[in-house]
Amino acid sequence: MSIRIIARLVARPDSIEALRPLLLGMLEPTRKEAGCISYELVNNTADPAEFVFVEEWASQEAINAHMETPHLKGLVVASAPLLAAPLDVRFYTVC
């Protein structure tokens, strides 16, 4: 059974346009990772500061490998000063 992840990032109001390209830069390399079934970035239409990655992974092992990639580690470091709240990552399985 696959694992779904919802990762929510909220930019500081003055950092929305700085954060957006960092997040978009995650799409291509992550989609190429083994075990990545789908990886999308959505932006809240009512709150442009809120970005959410909607992910589906084949296994916990694939997620563990993703967590160790240079592009994800780089995003975590680069985005930290741009965020209004801590990164919120939640894991789900389909019922």
44/52 Cα distance (integer angstroms):
8
Tell me: the pLDDT tens digits for 36-86? 999 999 999 999 999 999 999 999 999 999 999 999 999 999 999 999 999
State residue 66's pLDDT score. 98
The tokens describing 91, both together, are 């894991």
The contacts of residue 36 (CB under 8 Å, 6+ apart) are: 30, 55, 56, 57, 58, 62, 66
Mean pLDDT to the nearest integer, 6-33: 98
State residue 25's pLDDT score. 98
In which band, very low, low, confident or very high, does the pLDDT at 18 lie, cut at 50, 70 and 90? Answer: very high
Query: Do residues 3 and 91 lie in contact, with contact meaning Cβ atoms separated by under 8 Å?
Result: yes
Query: Domains in the chain, please, with CATH?
Result: 3-92 (3.30.70.100)
State residue 51's pLDDT score. 98
- pTM to 2 decimal places: 0.95
The tokens describing 16, both together, are 């929305």
